[in-house]
C-alpha cells in the first residue's frame, strides 16, 4: 500500500489569489457561488510535480478521516 504523505494546508478564501497576485495554471478559484468549495483545495505546481500528479483534479485527499475531492 502507498504510504501517506503529509503537507501543510493553509485555509484561504476566494480573495487569496487576488490578494497575492497568484495566477492559476489550471482549474478555477474558489467562489462563494459554490458552497462545496469549502471542501476544495488549491495546490501549487511544486506539489503536483513532486507527487507526479498529471491530473491533480482527479486526486482525493483525506483530512481528519474525511475524503475530499
The residue ranking higher by pLDDT, 61 or 51, is 51
Go through 24-47 and write b for each residue having 16 or more CB atoms within 10 A of its CB, e for each that does not. Answer: eeeeebbeeeeeebeeebbbeeee
Contact (CB, 8 A) for 45 and 38: no
Looking only at the bridges linking them, the beta strands covering 66-68 and 61-63 are antiparallel
> What are the pLDDT digits (tens) for 30-50?
999 999 888 888 888 888 888
The residue ranking higher by pLDDT, 46 or 61, is 46
User: What is the structure's pLDDT at 54?
Assistant: 84
Locus of grid cell 478559484: 29
User: What is the structure's pLDDT at 60?
Assistant: 74
Residue range 55-64: average pLDDT?
Answer: 74
Whether 69 has a pLDDT exceeding 60, the answer reads no
Amino acid at each position: 500500500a502507498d504510504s501517506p504523505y503529509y503537507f501543510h494546508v493553509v485555509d484561504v478564501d476566494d480573495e487569496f489569489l487576488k490578494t497575492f497576485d497568484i495566477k492559476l495554471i489550471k482549474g478555477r478559484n474558489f467562489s462563494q457561488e459554490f458552497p462545496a468549495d469549502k471542501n476544495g483545495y488549491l495546490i501549487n505546481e511544486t506539489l503536483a510535480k513532486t507527487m507526479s500528479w498529471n491530473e491533480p483534479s482527479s486526486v482525493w485527499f483525506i483530512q481528519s478521516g474525511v475524503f475530499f475531492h
